[in-house]
Amino acid sequence: MAEEIDRLRREIAERESELADLRSQLAVAESEKRETESSAGAERARADWKWPLKEDEYERYSRQMIVPNFGLQGQLRLRAAKVLLVGAGGLGCPAAAYLAGAGVGVLGLIDGDTVEVSNLHRQVAHSTGRVGMTKVESAITYLKELNPSITYNAHQTHLTPQNAASVLSQYDLVLDCTDHPASRYLISDACVLLGKPLVSASAFQASGQLLVLNDPPGGGPCYRCVFPRPPPPESVVGCGEGGIVGPVVGTMGLLQALEAIKLIIRGGLQKEAPPVDGAAAAAAPTPAPAPAPSKNMTMLIFSGMADTMFRTVRIRGRRDDCFACSGREGALTLEQMRSSLDYVQFCGVARPVRLLKPTERVRASEYARVAADRASPHLLIDVREREHFGLSSIPGAVNVPISQLMRARVGDGGASGSGSGLAADAAEAQVAAAPDWMPADLPHSAPIYVVCRVGNDSQVAAQKLKELGLDRNGERFVGDIDGGLRAWREDVDPTLPFI
């Protein structure tokens, strides 16, 4: 049955893509027909047409062309522009929609992922019927319905150091719509080396930020100037763990499109790019462009749940010692980016958490037997945040968010203890104190199990419980469920929603 459902979904997606192509062809044909059959003298009128835009373009784009400082010249610049969106997800979908609607001449999308159901609350260019389709194909299917008169380029792959130059060199402007630091550094480096302005945005939970980088090319700061060092890998939390509010990431994508339109209609694009392919490029790798005058830069901060949602902060300009954009001897080159830079290693890789011994970890099925034995009292602590816990949990679990647990100190028993004093006093306090969330009738020898989403935070929490003395100097078992809620769903209860 599952295979049949997948087959039907794929077939629907293929038919939708074919239908979008047909509608696009129909729209173009109807537009041409209107031009040739609008009157008896249509052919002569068409031959005498002296206006720079087609008749249907005047109708389609009229509402934006009459905006002050936009005008016909702005529309002509949009029609001549080639824009690449790296990422066709929460940022890329709204950005692509408004750039296509505005009439950008060539719109390219690069993404190697496929559409999943969990994408649909925020990635508005995709649909339920296109689950399983590549994101690029799905987005272009949507965009052709919106505006069939522009050119769409599909790059159904992930951007890598090896293909970045060949892809980005085809465009005038780049939008970074990705969600990982390694991608942001790669995109920024490639834009610097190729002389492309970059509009970068990010969104997480209810907040976002927006930057226009390398503007003007070789003058404005790059991503490395603003963030010389990547964040610690353990601090990088994706939407799957931390969550994201759809309109928040949508807002940031719309702002990216707006910044791109501003750059284009004001004539801020550099048309000539240095060569990136061939023996000459390999023999003499392209250096960063010569520095141009820098200008004051700001970062837009968006706080979706705050009363004051928008604010800007000043950021420093281009760094004279920047590895990517300084232009100094030994700075980054295209060949170096292609052959020797490892962006994942530069940003660090969060190593698997291995804090507990194998004897301190129990399988989900093993804990299920413990839970079923009513004669064996125990405590199960779920250390996910309250929002996660409120969506689904193992019956009988007590929610103690890890953020709360990690603030506890030795001697805490509802009031904050100092955690200082002689070792003997500390040990006595450890045994005597009990947190507020600890059941008063829990026997001293009853084991404590900890669970989280996938089995990482639970190990950290179990170690913390031991530091607080809740293992009673080794008399009580304190451990975790190996694999967390994911393992519980796979091995014990497949009906548990796994968020």
Residue 22 counted as an annotated binding residue: no
Residue 480 counted as an annotated binding residue: no
The C-alpha atoms of residue 93 and residue 90 are separated, in whole angstroms, by 6
Could you tell me whether strands 173-176 and 82-86 are parallel, antiparallel, or unpaired per DSSP bridges?
parallel
Name the burial class of residue 26, with classes exposed (0-12), middle (13-18) and buried (19+) by CB atoms within 10 angstroms of its CB. Answer: exposed
Residue 135 counted as an annotated binding residue: yes
CB atoms under 10 Å from CB of 62, counted, come to: 11
Residue 445 counted as an annotated binding residue: no
**H or E, element range at 273:** none
Are 381 and 397 contacting, i.e. CB atoms less than 8 angstroms apart? yes
Residue 473 counted as an annotated binding residue: no
Separation of first and last alpha carbons in the chain? 24
Indicate if 347 belongs to the active site: no
Residue 180 counted as an annotated binding residue: yes
* Candidate list 93, 177, 191, 452, residue with the active-site label: 452
Residue 179 counted as an annotated binding residue: yes
Helix, strand, coil percent values for the chain (each to nearest 5) = 40, 15, 45
Are 334 and 193 contacting, i.e. CB atoms less than 8 angstroms apart? yes
Residue 469 counted as an annotated binding residue: no
Residue 322 counted as an annotated binding residue: yes
Indicate if 452 belongs to the active site: yes
Could you tell me whether strands 198-204 and 207-213 are parallel, antiparallel, or unpaired per DSSP bridges?
antiparallel
The C-alpha atoms of residue 116 and residue 93 are separated, in whole angstroms, by 14
Are 57 and 149 contacting, i.e. CB atoms less than 8 angstroms apart? yes
User: In one letter, which amino acid is 296?
Assistant: N
**H or E, element range at 165:** helix 164-168
272 CB-near residues (< 8 Å, 6+ apart): 195
* Candidate list 93, 177, 239, 347, residue with the active-site label: 239
The C-alpha atoms of residue 381 and residue 479 are separated, in whole angstroms, by 10
The C-alpha atoms of residue 195 and residue 143 are separated, in whole angstroms, by 28
Please enumerate, by residue number, every residue annotated as part of a binding site: 90, 111, 118-122, 135, 179-180, 222, 225, 322, 325
- For the annotated catalytic residues, the residue numbers are 239, 452
Please enumerate, by residue number, every residue annotated as part of a binding site for ATP: 90, 111, 118-122, 135, 179-180
Please enumerate, by residue number, every residue annotated as part of a binding site for Zn(2+): 222, 225, 322, 325
